[in-house]
Amino acid sequence: MKILTGNDLKTGAVVWWTGYDWSIHVEDAVDVDGEADAIAAREEGARRVNGPYAIDAQREDNGGVRPAHIKDRIRALGPTVRPDLTLKPADPNAGNWVI
């Protein structure tokens, strides 16, 4: 699947396109294959996102979404060296998902 990501203009937070809005949780991302450029142009023009781009990802068995490249998995979770600053600070196995 192709998913769309970027950074929130005001906060810089990593965000993912959910089909109607942006979420900080990658598991909310939807397949945008074929529509990525149009959505990106529209959303960037509306100042809801900064620098949107499409990436490869796969749907996981548990319904989650896993970006294909490690860089985007780190973007999705947070720095692997500061689990307390990730989106899942209470999950001791969250870092394994990145690697």
Partner 1 sequence: MYKYDQYDQAMVDTRVAEFRDQTQRRLEGKLSEDQFKPLRLQNGLYLQLHAYMLRVAVPYGTLSSAQMHMLADIADKYDRGYGHFTTRQNIQYNWIKLEDAPDILADLATVEMHAIQTSGNCIRNISSDQFAGAAADEIADPRPYAELLRQWSSFHPEFLALPRKFKIAVIASQTDRAAMKLHDIGIRIVKNEAGELGAAFYVGGGMGRTPMIAPCIKEFVPLDQLITYSEACLRVYNRYGRRDNKYKARIKILVHELGKDEYTRQVEEEFAHLQTQGIEPPLAELERIKAHFADPAFEAAASDDLDLSDPGFALWVERNCVAHKQPGYIIANISLKPVGGIPGDASAEQIHLMADLAKAYSFDELRVTHAQNIVLPHVKKADLHALWQKLDAAGLGTANLDTVEDIIACPGLDYCSLANARSIPVAQKISQRFAETGKTETLGELKLKISGCINACGHHHAGHIGILGVDRKGVENYQLLLGGCEGDDTSLGQITGPGFDEDGIVGAVETATNVYLANRQDGERFLDTYRRIGMAPFKEALYG
Contact residue for partner 1 among 63, 81, 93, 96 (CB under 8 A) = 81
Q: What share of the chain is helix, strand, coil (3-state, %, to 5)?
A: 30, 25, 45
Quick one: which segment of 15-23, 34-42, 57-65, 81-89 binds partner 1 (CB under 8 A)? 81-89
**Structure token pair of residue 90:** 């209470």
Residues 1, 58: contact at Cβ < 8 Å?
A: yes
CA distance 71 to 60: 18
How many residues sit close enough to partner 1 to count as binding (CB under 8 A)? 23
Candidate list 19, 37, 79, 91; residue touching partner 1; CB under 8 A: 79
Q: What residues line the site for partner 1 (CB under 8 A)? A: 7, 9-14, 44, 47, 50-51, 68-71, 74-75, 78-82, 85
